[in-house]
Amino acid sequence: MQKRGAIELSIGTIVVIVLAMSMLILGIVLVRSILCGAINLTGDVNTNVKKELQNLFQSTGGEVVCIGSGGSEVSFVPGRRAQIHCSINAPDTAEYTIKMIDIQASKSGTKVEDWVQTSEWKGRVAPGDSIPKTAIRLDVPTTAPEENIIVSVEIERNGELISTQDLDFRIQREGIIKGAVC
């Protein structure tokens, strides 16, 4: 009799442990999805706010406005491709060229020139064409230090220089929670 009771107790214990582990795993998955959703939601809200500010700046700004020229730094995450977009508010149909003329890091020794994948955009733009143009692509390595980057661009319309802009960017790692959980 004592042996039979011991077997029943151990089977009951195993069932309880399996159920507890299942509930623990489901709880972890639920918490992870809620955390990632909340983190991504705040990132989306920040992105949308920046887009609205950029649109407001474009409506009051000049003919060509690039991301990073609005006064606040735009963040790039190491290990990801970074794209610098420019919007053109063309008064007439014209051929535009957006060309990177210089890129510098705030810390000496960082060779940010090696990160450049695309440094120029050329195209015809008509009035009302509000689609942002990807002028510059950077491949930011995972080993990139956290620092400020300044990209200088020249904008030409029909071969004539109309503007130069210094664009401010910041290399910034993801948060620990977002990087580990999501």
The three-state (H, E, C) secondary structure of the chain, written as one string = CHHHHHHHHHHHHHHHHHHHHHHHHHHHHHHHHHHHHHHHHHHHHHHHHHHHHHHHHHHHCCCEEECCCCCCCEEECCCCEEEEEEEECCCCCEEEEEEEEEEEECCCCCCHHHHEEECEEEEEECCCCCCCEEEEEEECCCCCCCCEEEEEEEEEECCEEEEEEEEEEEECCCCHHHHHHC
For range 145-159, the mean pLDDT? 90
Contact between residue 167 and residue 124 where contact means Cβ atoms under 8 Å apart: no
Residue 21 pLDDT more than 90?
yes
CATH class of the domain comprising 63-174? mainly beta
Question: Which of the residue ranges 33-47, 53-67, 89-103, 158-172 would you say has the lowest mean pLDDT?
Answer: 53-67
Residue 65 pLDDT more than 70?
yes
For range 23-50, the mean pLDDT? 76
Looking at the chain, the whole-number percentage of residues with pLDDT higher than 70 is 76
Residue 124 or residue 53, greater confidence = 124
Band of pLDDT at residue 56, cut at 50, 70 and 90: very low
What pLDDT score does 47 carry?
67
Looking at the chain, the whole-number percentage of residues with pLDDT higher than 90 is 20
Contact between residue 115 and residue 137 where contact means Cβ atoms under 8 Å apart: no
What pLDDT score does 74 carry?
77
Question: Which of the residue ranges 31-40, 79-88, 129-138 would you say has the lowest mean pLDDT?
Answer: 31-40
Which residues lie closer than 8 Å to 94 by C-beta, 6 or more apart? 124, 125, 157, 158
Residue 179 or residue 117, greater confidence = 117
